[in-house]
């Protein structure tokens, strides 16, 4: 989703707020807005905050605050969904389908994949290199109970 590369933090957060508002009002949405609204709908714990836009636009979510960053979490859902749709890395779609069958719901499977993605991103950032897509895929395949190549 290249649109995210050119947006500031505030612009990205506003996209979430606007998409959720449009969803609640039942007005037409762009495809990306519909994807965002779908992810928000799966997270009732974030909905009230998104409806109080003044509270979340400027808030810094730090580990010390004890609150997870809803925008990061939902953004990781969108990233995982994009990976599944494009089958990148190759094998991701099959691993997701197997994991969803194992966990019982696509949403639960996405949450497990998000943990793997966050770990891969953290490792890459710490090492100052791009994420290792194959190591990431092997983690997801392992969760899904697939034979790891």
CB 131 within 8 A of CB 121: yes
Q: How far is CA 36 from the centre of its chain?
A: 10
Which helix (H) or strand (E) covers residue 141, if one does? helix 133-144
Backbone angles phi, psi at 125, to 5 degrees: -65, -45
Joined tokens for residue 53: 């836009």
- Residues 77-106: pLDDT tens digits? 999 999 999 999 999 999 999 999 999 999
In this predicted structure, the answer to whether residue 5 has a pLDDT above a threshold of 70 is: no
The pLDDT score that the predictor gives to residue 1 is 42
The pLDDT score that the predictor gives to residue 2 is 46
- The C-alpha atoms of residue 22 and residue 131 are separated, in whole angstroms, by 35
The pLDDT score that the predictor gives to residue 149 is 58
- The C-alpha atoms of residue 17 and residue 110 are separated, in whole angstroms, by 22
pTM (2 d.p.): 0.89
> Mean pLDDT in the chain?
91
CB 89 within 8 A of CB 134: yes
């Amino acid at each position: 989703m290249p649109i995210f590369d050119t947006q500031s933090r505030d612009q990205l957060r506003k996209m979430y707020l606007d998409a959720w508002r449009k969803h609640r009002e039942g007005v037409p949405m762009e495809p990306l807005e519909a994807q965002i609204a779908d992810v928000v709908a799966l997270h009732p714990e974030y909905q009230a905050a998104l409806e109080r836009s003044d509270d979340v636009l400027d808030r810094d979510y730090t580990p010390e605050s004890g609150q997870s960053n809803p925008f990061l979490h939902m953004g990781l859902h969108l990233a995982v969904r994009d990976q599944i749709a494009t089958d990148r890395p190759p094998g991701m779609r099959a691993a997701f389908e197997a994991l969803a069958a194992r966990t019982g719901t696509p949403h639960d499977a996405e949450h497990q994949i998000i943990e793997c993605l966050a770990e891969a991103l953290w490792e890459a950032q710490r090492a100052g290199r791009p994420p290792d897509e194959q190591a990431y895929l092997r983690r997801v395949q392992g969760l899904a109970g697939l034979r790891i190549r």
